Amino acid sequence: MDEHTDENERRDGPEPDGRTFRTWIKDELIEIPATIAGIRDALPEDQRDEFTRAIEDTPARDMLLVLNQWSRRTRPEIDEAIRQAHDWVQGIHEEADAMTIMGEDRNVVLGHVQSRLREGPPEPDNGATT
């Protein structure tokens, strides 16, 4: 096993058996169901019939995408984290556009973007005051 794989196994745990999807939110590994039965069981009761209809009407080529979308409904914080990450990257993009419009050197703009990406997104403000 190479060093990269060994490091990820320590961080992520053993390789999943395919019955769950995995993703990271901040420093937390999230597992969500990746089977039809598992997703149905994890969904709120009022969404289960809609899920069944959607799965029954989904072409095979689109099944993985649809299962992923429904699986994420079992953990709404995943979509919220994706939205926040998208907004953060969009903000960096807008800063770079503004710098370019103002005539900033391309290398300076690139350095700014790379610096912001290395910093990572800001910690969320959970209403706490200091």
- Segment 99-128, tens digit of pLDDT: 999 999 999 999 999 999 999 888 765 554
Distance CA 121, CA 87 (A): 10
pLDDT class of 8 with cuts at 50, 70, 90: low
Torsion of CA 54, 56, 60, 63, to 10 degrees: 40
pLDDT at 95: 96
Per-residue model confidence (pLDDT) at position 7: 54
Q: What is the model's pTM? A: 0.64
Closest CA to 81 of 130, 12, 28: 28
Q: How far apart are CA 23 and CA 74, in angstroms?
A: 13
Least confident of 8-12, 19-23, 50-54: 8-12
**Which has more pLDDT, 9 or 70?**
70
Write b or e for each residue in 65-78: b if 16 or more Cβ atoms lie within 10 A of its Cβ, otherwise e.
ebbeebbbbbbeeb
Structure token digits, residue 17: 């058996």
Q: What is the mean pLDDT of the chain?
A: 87
Q: What is the DSSP letter of 97?
A: H
Q: d(Cα 76, Cα 39) in Å, to the nearest integer?
A: 13
